Structures are given as structure tokens and as C-alpha cells.
Amino acid sequence: MLVSFIKKAIIIVSLVVIYQIAWFVYVYLVPYTKGELKLSGSFSTKRILLDPGHGGSDLGTPVASPLMEKDFNLTFSKCLIAHFSAADNISADLSRNSDIYLGRWQRVERANRGGYDAFISVHGNCCSRHSGGYMVIHSANGPSARDSERLAKCIADSLDREGFTPHRFWPILPPLDRLVIPRLSDWIRYCPSTYRLGTFINTGYDITVLDHAQCPAVLIEVGFLSNARDLAQMNNPTFLDRFASAVQVGLEVFFTGNGVPG
């Protein structure tokens, strides 16, 4: 009986290993074939609320960095505003345009009262010094969850096309993710676009601005302040300008109704 049990255990472990290797190959080694970028069609003027995260007494990520997250969030949001202002059919506002504190519900209420067509929360990330790359997070729970997913994919696809690097976890799929990284898997779910494009689905953690905004809403983590390479880029105006331009293209693809399906 013991021998039979060991044989079954070996088979199960072997299948799990093969499963993970196959997923790793698919994610990292199989070329990601991009379809043609579709910007056909036009759209009426759309209003965007840009939300620089944190501010005032809320400094943001706790990483010891010469660049505080709250300051970066505002700087990059103003960069986005400059890009959107140059467009004929995108109008954008800031939830805060100075170093002030805003509660999460204040941000959501402004988005909902203002009748905006999209909500973009801007952040810098923090983790180990080895973690890097952008993340585009959308919620599975919000009123506009389906459109938020498509918006996230359109923005991430545009960033990918411009050569920006998405943040990638080791490609562990459910149910193994709960065994390996249980705290993270409580609120993040994986899908092929997570590793291909850098989109992440919030399913459990209360990200108020995503869960309760009436319009399509995403949260962009531009990079990791805890990563030396990302930090240098996030201090580089040229990098921020290119990143903002790619976000704008993603928005335009989303509003034309083309691009990556939700």
C-alpha cells in the first residue's frame, strides 16, 4: 500500500511540475503576437479624472527613497494632464493638484459626481529591490468591471508595444498560488494577460477607488521606487513623457471601441 501511495504521489508531483514548466514556457518563451493596433474611428470628447495617490500626511510607500511616492504620483499625473490637454477629444482633471490629503471616498465621490468617462489612479510601487516594472490593476467587483478590464488591457497593451516592462510574478496559477503566496492571492488573480501585458485583477482587497467608481477605473503602478532601475526611470522626464504618451494611446484605443477585448 505504501508503494502504491508513493507512486501516486510521484505522478501527482510530476504533473504539477510539468504544468508549471509548460506555463513558464508559454509566458516567458513563446513570443507574444500582437495584433494590429486599431485606432480607427473617432469618439466624442471624453472626460478623465486623474487621481494622484496619497498626498499630504499620507506619504505613500514606506521605502527609503529620495523620491516620495506622493510627490511622484502628482508629478506624473501632471505629465499625463499635459498630454491629454494636447488631444482634441480628451479632457482631464486632477483629484488633487497640490500636496494635500484626500480620503479614498473623497476621490471616489468626485469621480462619481463629476460624470467622468474614466478614472485613472496613479501610484508608485514598493516591494523587494528585485521587483520592477509597471502594473495596471482593475477590479472584478466594480460597477464597470467589464469596461475596466478592457481599459486596463488597452493601456497595458500600448505600454507593452512601446517597450515598457510589465511586473511579473513567478507564473503560479490557482490553486497553487494560494499555497505559495497566500496573502497576495487573496486579492490578485492571474490570467495570461497578467504575464503578457502586466494587468492584474483585484478580487478581494478593498481598493475603494476601483471597487466603487461608476465609470471604468484602473490603477497604474508606474514602477517600483524600491528598485534602483525603476527609480532612475521614474526620475527621468523623458521616460515619464514616453510612458504618458503610451497611456494616452491606450485610452484612445479604448474609447474607439477597438483594441484588446475585455
- The reply to whether 15 and 63 lie within a common domain is no
Average pLDDT along the chain: 83
Is 251 a member of any domain?
A: yes
Q: Does the structure show a pLDDT above 60 at 192?
A: no
Least confident of 186-190, 209-213, 235-239: 186-190
Which of residues 123 and 204 earns the better pLDDT score?
123
Which pLDDT belongs to residue 88? 86
Is 261 a member of any domain?
A: no
Express each pLDDT in 11-34 by its tens digit: 888 887 787 677 666 655 655 555
H-state helical runs in the chain = 2-24, 69-85, 104-114, 145-161, 176-180, 182-185, 192-196, 208-211, 228-234, 237-255
Is 159 a member of any domain?
A: yes
- The reply to whether 158 and 201 lie within a common domain is yes
Winning range, highest mean pLDDT, from 24-28, 36-40, 128-132: 128-132
Least confident of 31-35, 180-184, 202-206: 180-184
Least confident of 19-23, 166-170, 187-191, 222-226: 187-191
Is 260 a member of any domain?
A: no
Q: For residues 68 and 16, what is the distance between their CA atoms, to the nearest angstrom?
A: 42
Mean pLDDT over 161-183 rounds to 63
- The reply to whether 9 and 131 lie within a common domain is no
Q: How confident is the model at residue 187 (pLDDT cuts 50, 70, 90)?
A: very low
Q: Does the structure show a pLDDT above 80 at 104?
A: yes
- The reply to whether 160 and 243 lie within a common domain is yes
* Contacts of 146 by beta carbon, 8 Å cutoff, 6+ apart: 262
Q: For residues 176 and 243, what is the distance between their CA atoms, to the nearest angstrom?
A: 34
Number of domains in the chain: 2
Mean pLDDT over 42-68 rounds to 91
Q: Does the structure show a pLDDT above 90 at 56?
A: yes
Domain range for 16 is: 1-30
Least confident of 28-37, 46-55, 217-226, 246-255: 28-37
DSSP assignment string, 66-82: SS-HHHHHHHHHHHHHH
- The reply to whether 70 and 6 lie within a common domain is no
Angstrom CA distances, 2 to 5, 6, 8, 9, 16, stand at 5, 6, 10, 10, 21
Peptide bond into 171 cis (omega under 30): no
Mean pLDDT over 248-262 rounds to 80
Q: Does the structure show a pLDDT above 70 at 176?
A: no
- The reply to whether 100 and 164 lie within a common domain is yes
- The reply to whether 49 and 147 lie within a common domain is yes
Residue 180 burial (CB count, 10 A): 11
- The reply to whether 208 and 124 lie within a common domain is yes
Q: How confident is the model at residue 5 (pLDDT cuts 50, 70, 90)?
A: confident
Mean pLDDT over 227-252 rounds to 96
State the cell numbers at 202: 483585484
Q: Does the structure show a pLDDT above 80 at 211?
A: yes
216 burial (CB, 10 Å; 0-12 / 13-18 / 19+) is: buried
Q: Does the structure show a pLDDT above 80 at 217?
A: yes
Which of residues 135 and 203 earns the better pLDDT score?
135
Q: Does the structure show a pLDDT above 90 at 121?
A: yes
Angstrom CA distances, 102 to 120, 224, 244, stand at 15, 23, 23
- The reply to whether 128 and 180 lie within a common domain is yes
- The reply to whether 70 and 121 lie within a common domain is yes
